[in-house]
Structure 1
């Protein structure tokens, strides 16, 4: 099963969690221990976030107390309930609760009773939790990150461009760019049968099609105003500069595609607002995103394998922890190294018997 594969991927031998076992290279024996209690503070920007941590906790023989976000209070509880239907005893190790973030009395008790605390959120949210976690409790944080995509000229042919645009539109539209894995910019290579400017038009068409199948969620007045203001700014630029083309949903602010020759990486205002920027070669991209290296997470890539490995190496040096196929940016596998770290080993401590 996938869970056994995950245990083998990180521990090599899952039985290290059950008993002392001989080490593979070094002399002696070792045993792995998970935390007695993990407290996980979840963000509410995307649904499904608790699933991984609940699974990782159970695999390390740990109980987990999850703090649901007020913005997304249901998914974790529903997942726990589905486990209860299959294995009631196992489900007793899971509790999903809610409290107002920053409640010092509650957090002092909860974090003080925990062996490990996992927190998702903005830098501010992470830092606020950090203040409340005792120094002897393991703290694992997942803060704000940025992602983008690259599209090689090989994927910009008359035969492939529609499929490429469809995959790109999916990456933008799923979760409305609210998650760290969603792209803010697509860098499209020149030299293909379809130019980056033409690709932007194909992307706009696919964004419109997908919006009819998967409508964008409701946005606040503030968010809508931000999109309209951005559109207005670029419409003025478009009128004065042939290096800019803007495509937008016919009604409302459902989606926006901006083609812009300026290659600078600019974070999106989210809610399906995406920029397409041309590059002569993908080798130019590392220099363009170097300033966000501390926040870089996923890079969606439509590149042939003979070019992908070199590009992936450059991205890895800048801190990217995941190079995914285009169209799968928002669907990481269970085995991924979230923020470049292990999912199980970060929770585990070891005891060695020396010879």
Structure 2
């Protein structure tokens, strides 16, 4: 481990694995907004093949918009196909391909067993996968495993009746959450942000910007550049006192 190679007197800032999320409100799925919304999500997923911890692994989509969450999942598949044509995904290892095939199969089995689920995926390859399901109606919290994906342009799309309720169910995922792309109107933004902050999210940004964190952002909610500096204080009055010894000062 790198931490073991760092001298005892030097700080080591370590970061573990994180899960990125996206929240899409019904107002972002109007006839005049849905195309841009879905395109932005696809860009966030395709950039760096989700290898960045900033990228979304699960997208929560609110019901009662002009498009259903299932239709959003289908359209997202089309946008990911467009991304594939313009920006082909990297070549995967056998293990990575198997992991994607496994989650596809698991979702298909859930659908066959009567679960409200579906798979929209690239044909004859693992180039992209959209795994659709509906939020558990029991009110139980989401666990982090249900939010994670095998990456490499594999994403979960979850239908939810209410974004605020979905956000509240992430309490048990604290410590794993980091970035969240949101598409809601301004009257709901800060209410959603308050709940996301309470469950551990520390970066909220527009869709399409998830992989473009600014250089001065508070990584994992901390002041990390400051932690690498050593402060030296020259206290007030030191300069005036020093002037008393300067023969040229009047």
Q: TM-score, normalised to structure 1's length?
A: 0.61
1:180 corresponds, among 53, 56, 60, to 53
Of structures 1 and 2, the one with the larger relative CO (CA 8 A, separation 6+) is 2
Matching residue of 1:276: 157
State the match for 1:331 in structure 2: 212
Aligned counterparts, 1:205-354, within 5 A: 205-241=78-114, 243-263=116-136, 264=142, 265-354=146-235
Q: Does the 8 Å CA contact 1:172/1:272 hold for their aligned counterparts?
A: yes
Deviation for aligned residue 1:220: 0.5
Moved over 4 A (4+): none
Query: For this pair of structures, how many residues does the alignment match?
Result: 228
Distance apart, 1:305 and its partner CA: 1.8
* Equivalent position of 1:129 in the other structure: 2
Partner of 2:26: 153
Q: Which residue of 148, 164, 169 maps to 2:37?
A: 164
In 1, Cα distance between equivalents of 2:163 and 2:147: 17
Residue of structure 2 equivalent to 1:141: 14
Is there any run of 5+ residues in structure 1 with no aligned partner, and where?
A: 1-127
Per-residue CA deviation, residues 282-306 of structure 1 (Å, 9 max, x unaligned), is 1112332222211211001011122
Aligned residue in 2 for 1:194: 67
Note if contact 1:161-1:202 (Cα within 8 Å) is conserved in structure 2: no
Measure the CA separation in 2 of the matches of 1:260 and 1:319.
24
Quote the residue 2:247 is aligned against.
Answer: none
- RMSD, aligned CA: 1.6
Deviation of residue 242 (structure 1)?
5.6
The structure with more strand, counted as a fraction of residues: 1
The runs of 5 or more residues in structure 2 that have no matched partner are 137-141, 238-250
- Structure 1 contact 149–185 (Cα < 8 Å) conserved: yes
Pick which of 152-161 and 131-140 moved more: 131-140
Q: Alignment partner of 1:252: what SS?
A: coil
Aligned equivalents of 1:257, 1:287: Cα separation in 2:
24
Q: Distance in 2 between matches of 1:159 and 1:245?
A: 26
Deviation at 1:259, TM superposition (A): 1.0
Q: Deviations over 1:78-127 (max 9, x none)?
A: xxxxxxxxxxxxxxxxxxxxxxxxxxxxxxxxxxxxxxxxxxxxxxxxxx
Render the CA deviation track for 1:206-264: whole Å, top value 9, x for unaligned. Answer: 11111111111100011111211222222232233261111010121100001101354
Alignment check: 8 A CA contact 2:25 2:163 kept: yes
TM-score, normalization by structure 2: 0.85
